[in-house]
Amino acid sequence: MRKKQLTSIFLFFLFFVFLFTGCAHRPVTPSQAVSEDIHRDQDRQVTTDEAEQIPSDPDIIEDKSDEDFFEEEFEEKKIQVADPFLPWNRAMFHFNDKLYFWALKPLARGYKAVAPDFIRTGVRNFFRNITTPIRLVNCMLQAKGNAAAVEFSRFVVNTTIGVLGFGSPADKYPRLIPPDSEDLGQTLGNYGLGNGFYIVWPILGPSTLRDSIGRAGDFFLDPVSYVEPAEASIGIRAFDTVNNTSFRIGDYESLKKSAIDPYTALREVYLQVRENKVQK
């Protein structure tokens, strides 16, 4: 109960700040593309290759081999968002960077070495299945009826025939191909709210004021949030992160190698990808 009360207070505080800091963002002229592709939608099933969310922290950078991705992304307008907490953001970027190399990457490597591919894929399917409420509710909030119907149908099929979601038999049906993943940050953007300012959270990675509010709201739609005790919930999320990272080892390293300033590169990619998702 105390955890829920604290979360509600945090959500109210963020919303209050959001109203009084201004939330507009504006495009600037296109710039040279970053040359390496490091991202694919982590919420997608194994059968889909559409690029989606670029993190923040290294643990959510997805695998994709096409080097033209960033060139295509950055040929579009670049999104300019205020970065008033630059010292904090850079410090948190470096914290997350060390966390990846010193803890997450070694754990993911060890896990990958002992867990067969079908086990890791099943775990990824399971976590995507149980987070259906987040996508389903946000589809409905955006009046995306067809996408909401697909999300609900996939949940029913994968939970039953797919044995609690470890399998993904819905992928066999063309009409049940996963739609674009939706979250509350996208919903707020769809309603016309801008990014606000850019912020990097420890462990969670890059975000904006709008997406931080959205993430807090999505917390209440995620079944894992209601697992007790809180330590168990944290452990489940950590396991999901390690499992996802085991599919993407090496991508973050490629990004750092190709970027003159990895902090700036991640910020620009994150903002561009989020903007593209809001516009869909």
| Digit-coded pLDDT (tens) for 112-127 | 999 999 999 999 999 9
Q: Give residue 64's pLDDT.
A: 42
Going by pLDDT thresholds of 50, 70 and 90, the confidence category of residue 79 is: confident
Would you say the pTM of this structure is higher than 0.75?
A: no
Q: pLDDT by residue (tens digit) across 46-69?
A: 344 443 343 444 444 444 444 454
How many structural domains does the chain have? 1
Q: Tell which wins on pLDDT, 1 or 260.
A: 260
Chain mean pLDDT for the chain: 81
Percent of the chain with pLDDT over 70: 72
How far apart are the C-alpha atoms of 132 and 115, rounded to whole Å?
Answer: 25
What is residue 164's predicted lDDT score, i.e. its pLDDT? 95
Catalogue the E-assigned strands of 68-146: 78-80
Name the residue type at position 260.
I
How far apart (Å, rounded) are the C-alpha atoms in residues 100 and 107? 9
State the residue range of the domain holding 210.
Answer: 2-279
Task: Reduce the DSSP state of residue 194 to 3 states and report it.
Answer: coil
- Segment (H or E) for 207: strand 205-208
Lowest mean pLDDT segment, chosen from 39-48, 146-155, 241-250: 39-48
Among 39-43, 88-92, 173-177, 225-229, which stretch is predicted with the lowest mean pLDDT? Answer: 39-43
